[in-house]
Amino acid sequence: MSASIVRDALVSTLRTWCLVLDGDLLGTPPADDGAGLADHLTNRVENIRHHVEGGAAVDEITAAVSAARDQVHGRDRAASTLAGLCPDCQSPVYGPHGVAQARCRANGCTGMVDVAAWRENALSRLTGATLPAVDVARVASVLTGERVTGDRVRQWAARGKLTAVNTGQCARPVYRVADVCALLGTPGHRTAS
Ligand SMILES: [Zn+2]
């Protein structure tokens, strides 16, 4: 698949879910490009959580992002993880596991991501977020660079290392992003109380 097809598929997926979540499939998209659409979705995490199609949205967007990442790095670069968003152009920047800084690869951009600072900032914004096991595992993996699965989250809960949050709304147990990141040993542990 060519890079432009993968990019178009990613933008199309983001555009569709913006419209679905706003309840008007025939409406005007909130932005023309992937970054603007991603911003729109990021500001609606709460809506996505409670939307009847929320799980499908997360699955489809995750698949489209993975395809884009494979296109950029090749499937063999499994060790490459999200380092953060470029401070200059907001493009996602990927780098080898454990790297301290990663340079943006967008055309003409010289932005540099400080990985630890970006993750700490993202974590502080997500610190109160609560998600089901599989979703909290995905978010924690991105924020810490450590791979964690939904099964491992459930094991921690079964062994008493992690406590599910009672929201009174969700039938499934949900967990704090900050608590899971703390168990993975990130600087965010101070906010996990
Ligand atoms: Zn950039």
Centroid of ligand 1 to alpha carbon of 85 (angstroms)? 8
Centroid of ligand 1 to alpha carbon of 89 (angstroms)? 4
At 188 the pLDDT is 42
* 100 and 140 housed in the same domain: no
* 70 and 24 housed in the same domain: yes
Residue at a domain's end among 13, 43, 75: 75
Q: Give the helix/strand (H/E) hosting 158.
A: helix 150-158
Contacts 24+ apart (CB under 8 A), 41-47: 41/14, 41/17, 45/129, 47/21
Q: What is the mean pLDDT of residues 128-148?
A: 85
149 domain-assigned: yes
- The pLDDT tens digits of the residues spanning 62-93 come to 878 877 877 776 655 455 778 888 999 988 88
Q: What is the mean pLDDT of residues 28-56?
A: 82
Centroid of ligand 1 to alpha carbon of 34 (angstroms)? 14
* 93 and 62 housed in the same domain: no
Cα angle vertex 33, ends 32, 39, to 5°?
Answer: 105
* 88 and 54 housed in the same domain: no
* 62 and 5 housed in the same domain: yes
Residues, Cβ < 5 Å to ion ligand 1: 86, 88-89, 91, 104, 106, 109, 111
* 84 and 136 housed in the same domain: no
CA-CA distance, 177 to 2, in Å (whole number)?
35
Residue at a domain's end among 63, 87, 115: 115
At 163 the pLDDT is 92
87 domain-assigned: yes
For the chain, give the percent of residues with pLDDT over 70: 89
Beta bridge partners of 132: 174
12 domain-assigned: yes
Centroid of ligand 1 to alpha carbon of 104 (angstroms)? 5
Residue 170 banded pLDDT, cuts 50, 70, 90: low
At 186 the pLDDT is 52
* 2 and 55 housed in the same domain: yes
Range of the domain at 84: 79-115
121 domain-assigned: no
Return the structure tokens found at 9. Answer: 């598929």
Beta bridge partners of 102: 113
Centroid of ligand 1 to alpha carbon of 112 (angstroms)? 7
122 domain-assigned: no
- The pTM score is 0.49
Cβ neighbours around 24 below 10 Å, total: 10
> What is the domain count for the chain?
3
At 144 the pLDDT is 81
Centroid of ligand 1 to alpha carbon of 103 (angstroms)? 8
Centroid of ligand 1 to alpha carbon of 133 (angstroms)? 32
Q: Does position 192 have pLDDT exceeding 70, yes or no?
A: no
193 domain-assigned: no
Residue at a domain's end among 75, 92, 107: 75
Cα angle vertex 22, ends 165, 26, to 5°?
Answer: 150
At 88 the pLDDT is 92
Centroid of ligand 1 to alpha carbon of 157 (angstroms)? 39
50 domain-assigned: yes
120 domain-assigned: no
At 40 the pLDDT is 86
